[in-house]
């Protein structure tokens, strides 16, 4: 090992010591310091770019590394399922670790802790191949989900203790939540956590109908109301956010063979980890949950893992997802609506949901399907010959097939079927989410096995496909759900609900639910509609609903096999 040459010293500053081996596999060492380390880590990433013919490990030595919005890289990215142009007119991201155009790089935290300051995107992996992030913890100095615990409740008031890492100010009788460069007053989509059952639900705002806010000392606040909101009880924890997803925790874009391993995400703000038009992604031993001992109950501003338009193999293994503010895992594509046919081989398509727009959704050579938005069935397949971006919302596609004239009279959407991954979700734990556990809509092979789902208020596993609301595609073709445990989840626990409003045949195919344990609330365990090939076998249900027939609902399905299931009261 030898010291880095003096010409890099100004970029690395005095806080970090880098050393590089003379071998083809090289190491860059970074040492912590009690200062902002954003530029030091960025400089190490820049140095790894120069090692074009070597695999490089950026090794963080144990300690705390502060990274901040004020020293971040500013880059424009359009990220699926984040914000509309009216919510965030300038979608520039403030990026702590920006990996662009790299190959064969490992960032090994070695047990280090990264502490973010301000609303920012912690990492971006863009146009990279063979990248590993591993062995570190991520926390926020100012998490954008403030929390408070109810201490006492009266007819027209309550008192609450504000969490130690939540900052606020009271001015003119108004409470304002604050962080480094951000603030808000009234929360959007607040949640309440019930510690006795480890469950989180959406709720009315505890700040509605306020007359006065009074500081009592030691972060204890008294709230006086004209009419106290219903449901407030001592011991409950309220989680609040402003709901604008203008940053993401992490973004993996147009990259291949990316691994996140042994990482503790104790706060993911203001969105989760998004994979977009990337290939072969592995998440192994990632822990999206509040840090034990801190008293925090929320670990995320929205979803934890969102995969939009990916391909190859997506693996999410041996991980924990506890304390989200939306769905822990969502895997889908995007339907774009056909808004014109400029010529017999051209299609003009448009992003329809306001929170998904601006990104590249098609590439030359991609296979596409033109789909009836009402039946969700394919009308014709084609191959993309060229792509022309017209603006942030509309794209002109030239295809290899002459399109039938009658399509112009129909409501047609387009799905890019090249970017549909195989998915394995195995050995994970899901809890404390106000919505579902897993959403998955991909025609690749899907295996959901050996997971535990605890008290998801909605369906624990949900398979949809829609072309008129969120426009999240598409049909599934091979899904196995086996050897899982569902504990008092919302009903139906497993829901298969394509959003077609006209039936002309099955939307989904080949769904198997096998050897799984269900401890049920009153209601359905499994509901499946518009599917060809349904196998429900060797499952064990604990329910008070009477019979197997009472807890399994099948609608407009063909080739259904329900056998060898057991029910206990």
**What are the residue ranges of helices labelled H in 91-222?**
none
CB 542 within 8 A of CB 520: yes
Other Cβ atoms closer than 10 A to 11: 15
Which pTM value belongs to this model? 0.94
34 SS3 class: coil
CB 237 within 8 A of CB 206: no
* CA-based nearest residue to 552, from 520, 510, 505: 520
Tokens of 280: 């072969």
10 SS3 class: helix
CB 269 within 8 A of CB 140: yes
Render each residue's pLDDT in the chain as its tens digit; 569 residues.
333 443 443 444 333 333 333 447 899 999 999 999 999 999 999 999 988 878 999 999 999 999 999 999 999 999 999 999 999 999 999 999 999 999 999 999 999 999 999 999 999 999 999 999 999 999 999 999 999 999 999 999 999 999 999 999 999 888 999 999 999 999 998 999 999 999 999 999 999 999 999 999 999 999 999 999 999 999 999 999 999 999 999 999 999 999 999 999 999 999 999 999 999 999 999 999 999 999 999 999 999 999 999 999 999 999 999 999 999 999 999 999 999 999 999 999 999 999 999 999 999 999 999 999 999 999 999 999 999 999 999 999 999 999 999 999 999 999 999 999 999 999 999 999 999 999 999 999 999 999 999 999 999 999 999 999 999 999 999 999 999 999 999 999 999 999 999 999 999 999 999 999 999 999 999 999 999 999 999 999 999 887 999 999 999 999 999 999 999 98
- Cα 222 from Cα 216, distance rounded (Å): 7
Alpha carbon separation from 329 to 154, 321, 439 (Å, rounded): 39, 9, 6
**Site of tokens 């960025």:** 42
- Cα 423 from Cα 419, distance rounded (Å): 12
15-39 as b/e, with b when 16 or more CB fall inside 10 Å?
bbebebeeeeebbbbbbbbeebbbb
The number of angstroms, rounded, from the C-alpha of 370 to the middle of its chain's C-alpha atoms is: 27
- Cα 269 from Cα 1, distance rounded (Å): 38
**What percent of the chain is helix, strand and coil (3-state, nearest 5)?**
5, 50, 45
* CA-based nearest residue to 303, from 329, 277, 280, 278: 329
- What distance, in Å, lies between the first and last C-alpha atoms of the chain? 66
* CA-based nearest residue to 77, from 254, 269, 336: 254
């Amino acid at each position: 090992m030898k010291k880095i040459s003096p010409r890099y010293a100004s970029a690395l500053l005095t806080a970090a010591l880098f050393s590089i081996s003379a071998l083809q596999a090289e190491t860059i060492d970074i040492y912590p310091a009690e200062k902002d380390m954003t530029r030091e880590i960025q400089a190490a990433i820049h140095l790894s770019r120069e090692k074009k013919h070597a695999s490089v490990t950026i090794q963080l030595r144990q300690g705390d590394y502060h990274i901040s919005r004020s020293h971040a890289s500013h880059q424009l990215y359009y990220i699926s399922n984040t914000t509309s142009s009216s919510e965030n007119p300038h979608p520039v991201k403030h990026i702590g670790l920006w990996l662009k155009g790299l190959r064969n790089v490992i960032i090994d935290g070695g047990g280090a802790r990264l502490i973010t300051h301000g609303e920012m995107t912690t990492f971006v992996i863009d146009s990279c191949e063979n990248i590993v992030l591993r062995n570190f913890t991520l926390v926020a100095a100012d998490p954008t989900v403030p929390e408070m615990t109810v201490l006492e409740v009266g007819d027209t008031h309550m008192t609450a203790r504000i969490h130690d890492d939540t900052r606020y100010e009271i001015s003119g009788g108004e409470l304002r939540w604050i962080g480094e460069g951000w603030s808000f007053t009234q929360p959007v989509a607040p949640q309440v956590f019930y510690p006795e059952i480890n469950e989180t639900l959406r709720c009315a705002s505890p700040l509605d109908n306020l007359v006065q806010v009074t500081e009592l000392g030691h972060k204890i606040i008294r709230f006086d109301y004209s009419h106290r909101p219903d449901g407030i009880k001592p011991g409950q924890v309220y989680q609040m956010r402003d709901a604008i997803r203008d940053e993401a925790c992490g973004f993996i874009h147009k990259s291949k063979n990316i691994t996140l391993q042994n990482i503790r995400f104790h706060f993911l703000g203001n969105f989760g980890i998004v994979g977009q038009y990337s290939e072969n992604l592995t998440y192994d031993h990632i822990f999206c949950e509040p840090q034990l001992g801190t008293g925090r109950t929320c670990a995320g501003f929205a979803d934890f893992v969102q995969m939009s338009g990916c391909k190859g193999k997506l693996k999410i293994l041996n991980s924990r997802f506890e304390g989200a503010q939306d769905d822990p895992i969502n895997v889908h594509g995007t339907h774009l609506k056909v808004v014109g046919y400029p010529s017999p081989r051209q299609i003009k398509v448009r992003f329809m949901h306001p929170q998904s727009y601006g990104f590249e959704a098609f590439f030359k050579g991609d296979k596409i399907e033109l789909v009836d938005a009402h039946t969700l069935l394919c009308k014709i397949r084609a191959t993309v010959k060229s792509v022309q971006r017209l603006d942030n919302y509309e794209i002109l596609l030239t295809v290899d097939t002459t399109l039938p004239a009658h399509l112009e009279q129909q409501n047609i959407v387009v799905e890019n079927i090249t970017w549909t991954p195989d998915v394995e979700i195995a050995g994970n734990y899901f809890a404390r989410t106000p919505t579902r556990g897993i959403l998955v809509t991909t025609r690749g092979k899907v295996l959901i096995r050996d997971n535990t789902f605890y008290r998801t208020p909605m369906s624990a596993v949900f398979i949809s496909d829609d072309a008129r609301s969120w426009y999240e595609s598409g049909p599934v073709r091979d899904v196995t759900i086996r050897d899982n445990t569902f504990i008092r989840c919302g009903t139906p626990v497993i829901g298969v609900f394509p959003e077609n409003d006209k039936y002309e045949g099955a939307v989904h195919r080949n769904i198997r639910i096998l050897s799984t344990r269900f401890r049920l609330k009153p209601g359905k365990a499994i509901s499946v509609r518009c599917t060809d090939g349904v196998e429900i076998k060797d499952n064990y249900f604990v329910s008070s609903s009477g019979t197997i027939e009472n807890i399994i609902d099948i609608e407009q399905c063909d080739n259904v096999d329900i056998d060898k299931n057991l029910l206990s009261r």
